Amino acid sequence: MIHVYADREGQKYRLLAQGHADDSVSDGALVCAAVSALTGALLQFARSRECCRFLRASMAHGHIFFSCRGGLKNAFEMTVAALSALAQQYPRHICVMGADKTGAVCPSGKTAEMR
């Protein structure tokens, strides 16, 4: 299960995605690839913007985190909307919490924690 936590507070944007979809099911690999593409693209976009200040980021297999101030409103909202659409279509593989989903709990009962 991929747990995504997306948060915005004023001009501060944070996103954390952890875990993997169950790749023993055919659509699990698709969900992992989609999450990687969406979050990776958002991180690259943040890195390319001078208005995205105080960028902190880390990427590893099954983990992406970033935080920055400014310059991401539309890109961040689009990414969260796309991740939320994935969660609606593939609830066995991904859940999205935070942003407009404050307090949401994944089917497994686990919640992502921002570091």
The Cα–Cα gap between 49 and 103 comes to 30
62-95: pLDDT as tens digits: 899 999 999 899 999 999 999 999 999 999 899 9
DSSP track, 25-54: SHHHHHHHHHHHHHHHHHHHHHHH-TT-EE
23-61: pLDDT as tens digits: 676 788 899 999 999 999 999 999 898 888 999 999 898
Describe the strand order of the beta sheet including 2-9 as a list of residue ranges.
53-60, 63-69, 12-19, 2-9, 94-98
Q: Global pTM?
A: 0.84
The Cα–Cα gap between 91 and 107 comes to 8
